[in-house]
Structure 1
Amino acid sequence: MAVDPKDIAALTPKFLSTVYKHFKNDVPDSNWDLKLHLGVAMLRGFLQRGKHKTIEKHQKFLGKAHLPSSPSVSVKKAVVPETCRSQAEDIMAGLLSGQEEKVGWRWKDDPMKQSPLKGEWVETKNRKKSTAADRVILYIHGGAYFMGSAAQHRFLIQKVAKAGAARCFSIDYRLAPQSPFPAAVVDTLAAYLYLIQPPADAGFDPINPKHIVIMGDSAGGGLALSLMLVLRDAGLPQPVGAACWSPWVDLYHSLPSIFSNGSTDYIPNGFVHKASPANPIKDYKNVQERLERVQYYAYNSALSIPYVSPILSDDLGGLGEIFITCGSGERLRDESILLAHKAAKTHPEIFNCNKPGVRSYPPTKVSLNVYEAMPHVFQLFLFHPAASDAIKRTGAFIRKIIPEPTNDASSCSSNSSFSSPHSSFSSPPCHKHREKDVSTNLNVLKQKKSSSSLSSIQEYIDEVFDENDDNGEINYFSNKHIDVKGNCKRVNDMLDEGTLREWMNMLGKLPDLEAHPEFMDI
């Protein structure tokens, strides 16, 4: 889709002024090179200009805009059956029982369900030649819950697929404000059910949840964690882990970095758009009306529901292993850091993990990587060394939690079956033809002498991830600070207890926007 010439004309002065500022050393962060400075300025300008367009026009443009795929990448379209979505709806209805008033709308009657839930498989064409493992990434795109598409994020997805030697399945979940919460969660849950129990004509066998990583960026990262909570709370099989880039997990904007990092991020001061049929905020210049619904994704009354703001869950334990990447210069930095501490239960006394009469889960294993000076989802800037390093580390995480299989049949581990009032699932069978495929792939690897390559990859994984502490016990919390070149500067820095308590007290409350009028600026 062609770019609007008016947008190019409007952003040209921004381009020139950014170049001038950079060479005058007027840079938001001294670690930024000119390319990154320009990238952040242009993206901020695009999002800022988008506020003066209707949501419908913004969605239409971003839904079609995407970069072409590499010739080495295979893209196959798919449709998730409505039976999966109906199943997901029943599960969500059970979890949200008694909270219908907070949700705020008749979500089961959403007319947008008339459109099929579309997805696509993305993988490198030589994947089976480079690995004997069947790794599957369920990728959930970002876009503040109201914009973006699977195709738009394909240029990132294909990079992660290659780094993790995996195949990715991504979907076009329903967008807000036409379909607020829980529509997006229902659609992502439907996609997960589709993977672990596909219909006979899906073209693939049921996928072992232990071979699935849920991944997302920004709002997609928040959805990934919401889906993990849904699966845990509903008693469904958990995926082996989740990889989240700059996850948006606090829709209250409670924490300090939302304001303190405004100059080093491209996220604008609040997402608002001009009046349109889809827009619940009819007058985007009316501050009071905007405060009555601060997010397009959910009504104010629903922001405290953990499946909307995962960081507000009473207990973030009992989940698959989580890998989180964020930038020290982004507005959502603090919520990534606090979520990592809370999930790993680094300070149980602060996070009230043992409430009387409430089930307590074991700590979730979390790896947190904070990149110096980087903005929100800096992986978008593929030209930058930090972006390349973050993608490489994400791939290493995926390879680590879904390792290469051994020759014996024990590598096909079974999953415990479960049942619910809505459905009954069982583990995917360990098919003989799969064992044959694994054996064939291993022979191909040997013939091509690629075992040395796999060995070097394993050495990198061992170097990046510290599995045990000095006493041989599991490290549930790992925190690395990485510089702009991708070099690890500091390891396992712990946030002090005073700051953790202060941030915990801030959660679940809208910030003082009168004290920060810049956040409501157009």
Structure 2
Amino acid sequence: MKWTFEDIRFGTETTFHSFFDVFFIMPVTTVSSAVHITPVVIKTFINHGKRKARKAKDRSDERDARDDIFFDQAFNIVKAFIEMGTKNTVESLQAFTNTHVPAPYWAVVSPVLIPLSSCNHAADVLIDWFGPEELKRVVGGERWWQVRGLDGVDGEWITEKEYLSPGNRNSEPPWKLNDTDADILRMETLETVMLYVHGGGYFWGSINTHRYQIIRYARKFKGRAFAVNYRKAPQYPWPCPLQDVIAAYLYLIQPPLGSLHKPILPSKIVFAGDSAGGGLCITVLTILRDMGLPMPAGAVLISPWVDLTHSFPSIVQNTSTDIIPQHGFLAKPSTLWPVDPQPQGGSRITPATSNPPPKPGHADTLRPSQGRIIKDTADNRYHHSGGEQVKTQVEMLDGRDTDDLETPNSRHDSNRGAIHGQNLRQSSSKSIIKEGIDDYDVDFWEPKPPKVLMEDPDAVPLELRAQIQLYATTEQLTHPLVSPVLQGSLGNLPPLYILAGNDEVLRDEIIYLAHRAAHPAEYPVRRGVLRDGIRQQENKNKFTTPTKVHLQVFDDMCHVLTVFSFTRSAKYAYRSIAEFVKHVTRHDPEHLKHNPFPELHRPPSEISPQVEVAERHSPFLQSGIRPTSESQSGDDHQISDFDTQMFRRNQANAEEEVKYKYTDAMPAPHCVSERTSDAHDSHQTVAKDIRNIGMIRERVDIHGITRPLESPEKIPALQLQPGQIGIIKEAPTIKWLTGQEEWDKMFKKSAKRVTERRMKCERKAKRIIDNARSQGLVLDRDTSEGNYQQNLLQTLSRVGDDAAGIQDDRRWGPFDLEDETPPPTAIANRHDTPEAIALIKKSIYHTAPITHRTVPKLRTSDAIRAAFDPKDDPSKAPQQSVSEQQVHNHILPIHGLRIWDGIVRYFGKKTSQKAKSGTKQVGEQLGIINLD
């Protein structure tokens, strides 16, 4: 399907929203979620019945995951909730998903605060990684992303209560500890640690949304987990979350003074994360590798989001089968987001107005400064209506002047023009790159954001005039630390276990990431990335050792299949993740170098899950008839042996697949990366591991049974050429624009009000700052010798309660960003949102950075205003951004996240009963079992 800009901007088709959607959209709360989701539940029941009737009428034997009414309901509930979030403000969704939820009684959850010292250590690592030039050109400086509201990062130690039996209690310390601190000490006997990084599109979710999943992991691998509540975009955009995840890891392996836990060996730590969390995990691993820091034992990546440019086909093809909203993560306008509540100049995407793509990383690319416009116009880089006519994509490719070219590889000569000339006008960028032409113009065959690569080479390219992702600016999306699929090399990393749903929109990028890691030489990064990043050039040649990878693609599963924990697919995933974690943390690096896969370990590791006695000896388990779900007790504390059965069966499947590859005469480089002379012999002795396997590639059906993944030649994602990856393309761009224009129409009045609120906030921020100055605020940059207040007010710097004062470990604050160009959404540099004002007040009166010389007194008028503001307080620090600080709800004791857990456990029991009933009927008919 082809689009033109006119079709997009002036199309006659308009989506009309219901009266309810437009006029009765409530903030994201437990009540509003119930109101929104109830009709979805009813509709799903009706449609499910119709669907089954059609299958029966057509006598179709084809089964899929949504044949199970409970999965069908859960899928539509989650999808409806996320879609509801897109019709609310970003702050509303963040607040709901970052509301503190008490832990279940069978678990131990001990909250901690990762201190500023660990955050500073992480910042130093990132500063060294970027270097001064990239920090200024791409990141926008080294200070703004270190500004935070809290005194560190929220984290949680998590494990099962039964693992902290009295027999595991350490001797009582000489000082009296509260229960939380005592539990942290009691966890010391659990050596294995999972560092979990939650998902949520980089802008929502929290340790609260994922706590029940994390508890399940800790129970299955019989260890402890550490969850990190990193700062979220758009208030704290890239690289803020990276800093926080690195800080969490350094906090574990190098605990600062005063920490209760002992240093944890990196070889006992496994990274794990889903969606955005998976993307953060793989990115942090590359940073640790590049900086020569100790690496963890391995990483589990569940549906990792690793390509924020959306350059793979599944991002468009799998929209209808995934829980991710059709048009991406849109939102009702607020003072926070989007950057422009109303489109500037009539549209968020326009035909190109300049021939060369803008340089990456410039914070003013979308709004050039006057000086830069003059300079670029002189360099023939901007062509306005009175200048050179804007060319088509092909004309740009085939007719650039040599003055516009900046690298030897992109110089246009007469031979190149003679060879390609007319052919370029009749072909797409895909065919050009696949033909193997080595001297193509990187600037145009690999256009940088905000340019969009068009499907029709005769079309004038589009340019984005809006930020399309909340995590990073459009110009930053191609940076390897934003989209890690674009890393110069993914080699030399610890073992990876990567899971994807076959029906999710991120499927292709996940499959490609896994193959790039396992086969660095076969899947190189595109040339533009290497040209623009010196470190990536070095990494390509420096890190050539293939990473050991186990990739599994789950049939009929959507994004983050582990959310649907009652399904057979998820139960197998939890068990196999646990076995991977145990395997890589219980064997030394030399052993893992040859075999990081528990499925190939001989003799097989012992699996001893908690099993109900009645189920342990159930005849149908011994008969070979397998139910579709394991039964769960009401508290989800006791589990059956079904996931163990699945893992054992799939272990045998993996062994058979490896045997087949070894005994077959044809090599299989994508399944077996290395082969030794005794590899075949290792199969004859069960006591020996199956060694030197570089990659396991599998599909998992809806019953949790594995089979080999198709050969790479049959997987479309693996046929993409490097030059096509990490490019903003036409189809996903139009998909986003279509939705955004709907939202612009639906929330037109809200957008106008947002502009007024921003102006009001700016006036309030100015008044607070002016009042603080009049009351004695003095900063380091105030070096005037004639400052008559300085000596008098210096004594205020450490006056007040213990929580107030200048913090030596807090390096920077909102007033320390001279000469920096933060992203437009960054809270550190804003005065036009309530959250930014809260950060300003906290930085002035409560937790001043070391760059402040004084902590002034609060002006009486401001104290009175704070007393009447429900979100402020005249004597305490105001609540910080909900993207950072958890919300404690004192009104409703029941939160939607706890309700969801109850729904999941209910579905699990009902699915188990349904499975047992079907198994009983089949068994009785065959004369195998009689459960009566």
Residue 75 in 1 paired to residue 109 in 2? yes
Corresponding residue number in structure 2 for 1:124: 160
Is the contact made by 2:64 and 2:702 (CA closer than 8 Å) also made in structure 1? no
Corresponding residue of 1:495:
712
The match for 1:278 is 336
Partner residue of 2:78?
Answer: 43
Offset at 1:37?
1.8
Residues 97-117 of structure 1: CA deviation (Å, up to 9, x unaligned): 222355454462347513121
- Over the residues paired in the alignment, what is the CA RMSD in angstroms? 3.3
Q: How does 1:197-216 map to 2 (within 5 A)?
A: 197-216=254-273
Instruction: Provide Cα deviations, 1:16-68, integer angstroms capped at 9, x if missing partner.
Output: 222221111189984312222222222222211212211111111110164x5
Within 5 Å, give how 1:370-519 maps onto structure 2: 370-403=553-586, 463=652, 470=662, 471=675, 472=679, 474-488=692-706, 490-496=707-713, 499=716, 500-502=718-720, 504-513=722-731, 516-517=734-735
1:280 Cα offset (Å): 4.1
The 1-side partners of 2:523 and 2:276 are apart by: 29
Which residue does 1:297 correspond to in 2? 471
Shift in Å, 1:193: 0.6
Alignment partner, residue 16 of structure 1: 42
In structure 2, the CA distance between the partners of 1:253 and 1:384, relative to structure 1 (3 Å rule), is same
How far off is 1:381 after superposition? 1.2
Q: Contact conserved, 1:252 with 1:510, CA < 8 A, in 2? A: yes
CA distance in 2, matches of 1:188, 1:29: 41
Contact 1:345 1:351 in 2 (8 A): no
Q: Is the 8 A contact 2:520 2:544 kept in 1?
A: no
SS in 1 for 2:498: strand
The residue type equivalent to 1:199 in the other structure is P
CA separation in 2, counterparts of 1:194 and 1:22? 49
Other-structure match for 2:179: none
Report the equivalent of 2:499: 325
Q: Report the Cα distance in structure 1 between the residues aligned to 2:262 and 2:29, rounded to whole angstroms.
A: 41
Distance 2:116 2:649 in 1: 42
CA contact (8 A) 1:249 1:309 kept: yes
CA contact (8 A) 1:163 1:395 kept: yes
From 219, 229, 233, give the equivalent of 2:290.
233
Q: Could you list the per-position Cα deviations for residues 77-101 of structure 1 after superposition, in whole angstroms to 9, with x for gaps in the alignment? A: 1111111111111111121222235
Other-structure match for 1:52? 87
Q: Aligned pair 1:174/2:236, yes or no?
A: no
CA distance in 2, matches of 1:264, 1:462: 29
Question: How do residues 230-379 of structure 1 correspond to structure 2 at under 5 angstroms?
Answer: 230-268=287-325, 269-283=327-341, 288=348, 292-345=466-519, 348=522, 358-379=541-562
Q: Is the 8 A contact 1:140 1:217 kept in 2?
A: yes
Residue matched to 1:157: 214
CA distance, structure 2, for counterparts of residue 199 and residue 73 of structure 1: 26
**How far does residue 10 in structure 1 lie from its aligned partner after superposition?**
2.8
Secondary structure class of the residue paired with 2:312: coil
Give distance in 1, aligned partners of 2:209 and 2:191: 25
Shift of 1:293: 1.2
- The code of the aligned residue for 1:493 comes to E
Indicate the structure (1 or 2) with the bigger Cα radius of gyration: 2
Residues 346, 477 of structure 1: 8 Å contact kept: no
Q: Could you tell me how far 1:463 is from its partner in structure 2?
A: 4.6
Q: State the 1:5 CA deviation.
A: 3.0
The answer as to whether partners of 2:289 and 2:493 remain within 8 angstroms in 1 is yes
Question: Is there any run of 5+ residues in structure 2 with no aligned partner, and where?
Answer: 1-26, 56-61, 169-186, 350-463, 531-535, 591-640, 663-674, 680-690, 744-932
**So what's the TM-score if we normalise by structure 1?**
0.82
Q: 1:91 aligns with which of 125, 137, 146?
A: 125
Does the CA-based 8 Å contact 1:317-1:363 persist in structure 2? yes
Q: Determine if contact 1:133/1:403 at 8 Å carries over to the other structure.
A: no
Structure 1 residues 330 and 497, CA gap change in structure 2 (3 angstroms) = closer
Give the partner amino acid of 1:38: Q
- Corresponding residue of 2:5: none
2:317 paired with 1:100? no
Q: Alpha-carbon deviation of 1:70?
A: 3.5
| Segments ≥4 residues shifted beyond 6 Å | 26-29, 128-133, 352-357, 456-461
Q: Kindly tell me: are residues 15 and 128 of structure 1, through their superposed partners in 2, closer, same or farther at Cα, counting changes over 3 Å?
A: closer
Counterparts in 2 of 1:51 and 1:282: CA distance versus 1, 3 Å: farther
What is the rounded CA distance, in whole Å, between the counterparts of 2:214 and 2:71 in structure 1? 21
3-state secondary structure, aligned to 2:510: helix
172-181 or 493-502, which moves further after superposition?
493-502
- Relative to structure 1, the CA distance from residue 200 to residue 83 in structure 2 (aligned partners, 3 Å threshold; closer, same or farther) is closer
Decide whether the 8 Å contact of 1:102 with 1:301 is kept in 2.
no
Give the whole-Å Cα distance in 2 for the aligned partners of 1:412 and 1:374: 33
Pick which of 383-392 and 177-186 moved more.
Answer: 383-392
Q: Counterpart amino acid of 2:77?
A: M
Where is the strand percentage greater, Structure 1 or Structure 2? 1
Change (3 A) 1:6 1:205: closer
SS of corresponding position for 1:64: coil
Give the 3-state SS of the residue equivalent to 2:699 in structure 1: strand
Contact map agreement 1:287 1:520 (CA 8 A) in 2: no
Alpha-carbon distance, 1:493 to partner: 3.4
Measure how far apart 1:148 and its partner are: 1.0
CA distance in 1, matches of 2:70, 2:721: 34
State the Cα deviation string for residues 109-137 of structure 1 (Å, max 9, x = none): 34751312110000113337899861111
SS of residue in 2 equivalent to 1:304: coil
Amino acid at match of 1:11: I
Give, in angstroms, the shift of residue 460 of structure 1: 7.8
Amino acid at match of 1:57: S
Structure 2: distance between partners of 1:507 and 1:8: 40
SS at match of 1:368: strand
Percent of pairs identical after alignment?
30
Alpha-carbon distance between aligned partners in 1 of 2:589 and 2:508, rounded to the nearest angstrom = 39
Structure 1 range deviating more: 84-93 or 272-281: 272-281
Aligned AA (1:277):
T
Measured in 1, the distance between the counterparts of 2:537 and 2:332 equals 45
Q: Which amino acid aligns with 2:730?
A: D
- For 2:84 and 2:253, locate their aligned partners in 1 and report how far apart those are by CA, in whole Å: 42
TM-score, with structure 2 as normaliser: 0.47
The separation in 2 between residues aligned to 1:83 and 1:313, in whole angstroms, is 29
User: For 2:470 and 2:490, how far apart are their aligned partners in 1?
Assistant: 25
Checking the alignment, whether the CA contact within 8 Å between 2:499 and 2:551 is kept in structure 1 is yes
May I ask how many residue pairs the two structures share in their alignment?
473
Q: Secondary structure at the match of 2:586?
A: coil
1:401-449 Cα shifts (integer Å, max 9, x gaps)? 1127xxxxxx799xxxxxxxxxxxxxxxxxxxxxxxxxxxxxxxxxxxx
- 2:730 alignment partner, SS class: coil
